[in-house]
Structure 1
Amino acid sequence: MEYSEDITVHKRYKLHGQRIEFTFHRTGDRVPVRMQASCLGPQQRGLDIICTKINEEFAAGRYKRISIISSIEKIFGIDKKVVEFMVKILRNLSWAGEDK
């Protein structure tokens, strides 16, 4: 299954030490989804860069919707291993709570 649905950013991505907090709204969902993930080792720097760039785009009003697959790798030009790590987190996040 392809995970390429759009998400709408409600809040900026935040980095708290070694935890990254995502808050976003999937297309068609009524309630924003929030999640915190641990990021250790070499991923830390990549996640920091991603947060910074997403926040810059968001603050400039240029980037209201984000496609999970295309945005991280193509727009932000992040290392592929970090992209895979991010996609894994976002995949888990985007389906959280659906079975409840």
Structure 2
Amino acid sequence: MSPNDHPSPDQPTDDSGSPSQPRDLPPAHDVTTYVEDGARIAGILGVWGVIAAFAAGFVGNLGSTGGLLSRLGPALGGLFMLVGLLNAVLYLVYRGIDYARV
């Protein structure tokens, strides 16, 4: 690059001041990969949903009305539901990082 040549302001440059080439996008994965990831997320949510329903329905109906277990069951169900949602979000973040590194 000669001293009279100046890159345009919208053209990226590297450390030496010469124009750099844009980075290529990583190749896309197969559709089956994304479908499998969706099935895994649905499985995570399904398992935690069953655990939450069991805690809210079964544990909540144990003991007397107004007792410890009848109050604890719905609270555990909500907690397990939240844990399942956070587990699915964690899986999405993990896969997003994994896809970005390819």
Q: TM-score, normalised by structure 1?
A: 0.28
Question: Rg bigger for which structure?
Answer: 2
* Bigger strand fraction: 1
Highest relative contact order (Cα 8 Å, sep 6+), 1 or 2?
Answer: 1
